[in-house]
């Protein structure tokens, strides 16, 4: 499917949120290095990412991580075919750190620069890990985004649905904070849910049965808070486990309802198989969600593909891979490309009522 050019070496830089990452990927998709520095400890006290702290950390560590990535890949700047760096969407201060570093390397070495849409990094990772062919349907679930897209090709996306309020990962984080389970919320809630009764609390399934494929999770998070307030000071550890399980079940049911509609829409557009659902983004590491999506896919004749957990969360390898895909197609950028806080994969999608910048 892909042009097997092992001589291509692309350096990928990621700094859109709270991971500083650098990686080198070859033209045939081999990950030669993938160095990620998490900032979880720096943000834990605040229960979420503080943009100024994140940007300062990127500045402090980016150069060192690039050197480490090159060393582990056994190559030098002179061996690079191109530099790819996240240029949005994300926290603009952090985005600027990786993007300007990438531009400086590209200018100094006189090699192509590729400004990468962070979401495209998640969207195309499965092509690096599983050699998935176009088209396929993508469920992108992360801390900042929750979308369903048809992936037709590099740079060619059709949005079927988006969150109109909180993203799935954001709902996990906020629920974990309400329950006092710690940060980051996704793994904490999933671990607690394994010890709880998912049927104990009757939490809502927002938008279930409604037309379209959009998501809503804000009301679900609020429902968890109300249950905590009802219990009051007498809340026990088991109460929190049961609430975590009930929340995870409700969120999963909401996603399954929206995905059922999306898979049927996709089949209308692309009746000829094979049919693949790719699940990407940090929440794709949730084994409970993946198990339920796998059962749904069996009923619709889809295979389900999720990259390894280390490639679901933010990393430099996914950015480098987009660089490879775009470099092969001659899709490089001038050095005056601007950083973007918002950068939709489908710029032609109609506004989703209530979604604001998250669409």
HEC profile of 49-81: CCHHHHHHHHHHHHHHHHHHHHHHCCCCHHHCC
Instruction: Indicate if 136-306 has the same CATH topology as 9-129+310-358.
Output: yes
Indicate the domain borders of the chain.
9-129+310-358, 136-306
The DSSP 8-state label assigned to residue 337 in this structure reads P
State the average pLDDT over residues 151-176: 95
8 Å CB contact between 355 and 58? no
Q: What's residue 184's pLDDT? A: 83
Q: What is the topology classification, in CATH, of domain 136-306?
A: Nucleotidyltransferase; domain 5 (3.30.420)
Q: Who wins on pLDDT, 183 or 141?
A: 141
Distance between CA 264 and CA 283 in Å, rounded? Answer: 23
Q: Does residue 268 register a pLDDT over 70?
A: yes
Q: Who wins on pLDDT, 46 or 31?
A: 31
8 Å CB contact between 278 and 126? yes
Q: Span 9-129+310-358: which CATH code?
A: 3.30.420.40
- Model confidence at 354, pLDDT cuts 50, 70, 90, reads low
Helix ranges (DSSP H) in the chain:
40-43, 51-72, 92-109, 118-129, 168-179, 185-193, 218-231, 237-269, 287-300, 309-312, 316-328
Strands 276-280 and 9-14, bridge-based pairing:
unpaired
């Amino acid at each position: 499917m892909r042009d097997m050019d092992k001589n291509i070496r692309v350096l990928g830089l990621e700094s859109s949120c709270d991971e500083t990452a650098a990686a080198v990927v070859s033209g045939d998709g081999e990950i030669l290095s993938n160095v990620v520095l998490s900032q979880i400890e720096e943000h834990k006290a605040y229960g979420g990412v503080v943009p100024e702290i994140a940007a300062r950390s990127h500045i402090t560590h980016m150069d060192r991580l690039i050197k480490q990535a090159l060393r582990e890949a056994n190559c030098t700047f002179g061996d690079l075919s191109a530099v790819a760096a996240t240029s949005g969407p994300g926290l603009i201060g952090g985005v600027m750190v990786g993007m300007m570093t990438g531009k400086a390397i590209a200018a100094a070495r006189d090699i192509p620069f590729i400004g990468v849409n962070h979401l495209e990094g998640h969207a195309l990772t499965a092509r690096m890990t599983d050699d998935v062919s176009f088209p396929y349907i993508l469920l992108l679930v992360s801390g900042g985004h929750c979308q369903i897209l048809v992936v037709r090709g590099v740079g060619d996306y059709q949005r079927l649905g988006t969150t109109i309020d909180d993203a799935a990962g954001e709902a996990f984080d906020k629920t974990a904070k309400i329950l006092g389970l710690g940060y980051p919320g996704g793994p904490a809630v999933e671990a607690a849910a394994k010890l709880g009764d998912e049927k104990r609390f009757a939490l809502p399934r927002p938008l279930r049965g409604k037309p379209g494929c959009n998501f809503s999770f804000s009301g679900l998070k609020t429902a968890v808070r109300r249950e905590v307030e009802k219990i009051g000071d007498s809340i026990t550890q088991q109460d929190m486990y049961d609430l975590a399980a009930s929340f995870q079940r409700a969120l999963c049911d909401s996603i399954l309802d929206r995905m059922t509609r999306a898979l049927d829409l996709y089949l209308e557009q692309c009746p000829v198989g094979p049919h693949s659902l790719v699940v990407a983004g940090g929440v794709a590491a949730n084994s409970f969600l993946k198990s339920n999506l796998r059962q749904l896919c069996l009923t619709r004749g889809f295979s389900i593909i999720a990259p390894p957990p280390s490639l679901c969360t933010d990393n430099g390898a996914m950015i480098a891979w987009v660089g490879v895909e775009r470099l092969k197609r001659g899709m490089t950028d001038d050095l005056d490309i601007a950083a973007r806080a918002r950068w939709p994969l489908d710029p032609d999608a109609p506004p989703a009522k209530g979604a604001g910048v998250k669409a």
